[in-house]
Amino acid sequence: MKLILTQEVSGLGGPGDIVEVKDGYARNYLVPRGLAMTWSRGGEKQVAQIRKGREVREIRDRGQAQEVASQLSALRVVLPSRAGQGGRLFGSVTAADVVEAVKSAGGPSLDKRRVELPTAHIKTVGTHRVSVRLHPEVVASIDVDVTADGE
């Protein structure tokens, strides 16, 4: 089945890309979650708009991505969160929480869709390595210290 991606799908492509996938993957996963829409001739205009929006948000070149990666590696990101006695969090830390913590630590603003957590959500206190895909060729790693908040 031919689809137009509306969001980044790892291993498949980015917004505005036209991809060919198996019917079941398209019907059961990509289309219901809003990650893609079925391809049509009228969809070509939407592809142009999606790509235009993508170019505005995207980091321009590899050099700029390397520069942002060096800024991220120099940061010390601490994320206080409520936790129980065993070090287990009440709730979890998401990609959006990591983006806010990086921004408050003085780092660059990031897109939460580019942040890849080691698991779906961080649920324990400690240091966790988080990767950020800045460019197709550049991936930065950040150590996020999740600490128990003193509430």
pLDDT digits (tens, 9 = 90+) for 43-76: 777 777 777 766 665 656 677 788 888 888 888 8
Residue ranges of the chain that CATH labels 3.40.5.10: 2-57
Radius of gyration of the chain (CA): 18
d(CA 98, CA 24): 33
CB-CB contact of 108 with 71 (8 Å): yes
d(CA 54, CA 31): 20
CB-CB contact of 1 with 22 (8 Å): yes
pLDDT digits (tens, 9 = 90+) for 84-113: 888 888 888 898 999 999 888 888 888 888
- pLDDT at residue 151 greater than cutoff 60: no
How does residue 25 score in pLDDT terms, banded at 50, 70 and 90? very high
d(CA 16, CA 128): 32
In 3D, which of 36, 50, 59 has the Cα closest to residue 132?
A: 59
CATH class of 62-148: alpha beta
Six-digit token string for 22: 């198996």
Q: Does domain 2-57 have CATH number 3.30.499.10?
A: no
Residue ranges of the chain that CATH labels 3.10.430.100: 62-148
Amino acid letter at 71? Q
